[in-house]
Amino acid sequence: MPLTGIEGAITGVVERVTPSVVTISTIEMRRARTWRGDGVFPAQGMGSGVVVGSPGHIVTNYHVVRNARSAEVVLHDGRRLKAEFLGGDPGYDLAVLRVEADDLVPLPLADSDTLKVGQLAIAIGSPFGHVLNGPTVTVGVVSALRRRLATERGLVDDLVQTDAPINPGNSGGPLLNTKGEVIGINTAIIPYAQGIGFAVPANVVRDAVDQLLRYGRIIRPWVGVAGVTAATPLARRLGAPDDPGVVVVEVEPGSPAEAAGVRPGDLLVRADGRDVRAVEDLQAAVRGHRPGDTMRATVRRPEGERQLSIRVAERRPEGE
């Protein structure tokens, strides 16, 4: 008897998307100590990926391929293809690979800004490829949005949280809705978490992939402001008012914000004409710009409001 309802929707999605979910096998050189002494030895890594955009382009987690000397993609039908690394970014934990195959079917990326807490989420990975005769699947709900987490690679913003468990071998696979659209790329970045998973949202993936393919890197807009959401216990301890906004805690020397006249203690209440009620609103406003753009900000001070024009710059990785 055919499955119906939620079961039918889930199994239908799995059947449709399985050909687009791949295994990524890597070889990297690791230093290890043996009875003969210290040495460098090849080690195999494993993760998942998903075909998106143009045929042949595969998205995975950066940490899956970051130290790889070589990478191989295993398709659902057992084919093994050499993968070319096109670009990656540790901050977003995203990387793009390319394989020579014209028959791959890319999955559509959803508009992750429309996600709702409580909606169904399906996590799919392919940690061992066709060896296990299919992918691994876990199901849950979107349990939170716009999560910020500290990892060994620094802060990761704007993550989708789900109670669909994401194991390390499933890193890089898709998180899907019941339409079979990718709502995020799974990332196993908290090894001690239980019954919880995180994914890079689809809209971030879409923009990141476009930039990685176009520039070979992700261009991060930067204004040089650190702040906290007002009307919170931490903000009150800093003497901030209870009005909605972001309390500026620090302005980086030499930053666009400093040049525009932003000062510690300012209450930033609007950006580009839109209300800023939390730090996430300010981050979204900055991300909406490209280096060279002008972001118009409204700050509130004891003497009144002031309009400032901040010329957005690019945040370059350390060491460049």
- Is 281 catalytic? The answer is no
Q: Could you say which of 2.60.40.10, 3.40.50.620, 2.60.260.20, 2.40.10.120 is the CATH number of the domain covering 1-30+41-218?
A: 2.40.10.120
pLDDT digits (tens, 9 = 90+) for 34-93: 555 565 554 566 889 999 988 789 999 998 888 777 889 999 888 899 999 998 888 888
Averaged pLDDT for residues 284-308: 93
Instruction: Tell me which CATH code domain 220-315 carries.
Output: 2.30.42.10
pLDDT at 320: 42
Of 20, 25, 112, 171, the catalytic one is 171
Q: How many CB atoms lie within 10 A of CB 65?
A: 23
Question: What are the domain boundaries of the chain?
Answer: 1-30+41-218, 220-315
pLDDT digits (tens, 9 = 90+) for 194-232: 668 899 999 999 988 998 888 888 888 999 999 888 876
Exposure class string for 186-223: b at 16+ Cβ within 10 A, else e? bbbbeeeeeeebbbbbbbbbbebbebbeeeeebebbbb
Averaged pLDDT for residues 150-165: 77
Of 20, 25, 48, 63, the catalytic one is 63
pLDDT digits (tens, 9 = 90+) for 91-122: 888 999 999 988 899 999 999 989 999 999 99
pLDDT at 68: 77
Q: Which of the two residues, 172 and 3, has the higher pLDDT score?
A: 172
pLDDT at 319: 39
Percent pLDDT > 70 in the chain is: 81
Of 93, 157, 158, 266, the catalytic one is 93
Are the C-beta atoms of residues 89 and 211 closer than 8 Å to each other? no
Percent pLDDT > 90 in the chain is: 48
Q: Which of the two residues, 32 and 201, has the higher pLDDT score?
A: 201
Averaged pLDDT for residues 262-285: 91
- Is 57 catalytic? The answer is no
CA distance to 182, 203, 285, 288, 315, per residue, from 293 (Å): 30, 21, 12, 10, 14
Q: Is the pLDDT of residue 177 over 60?
A: yes
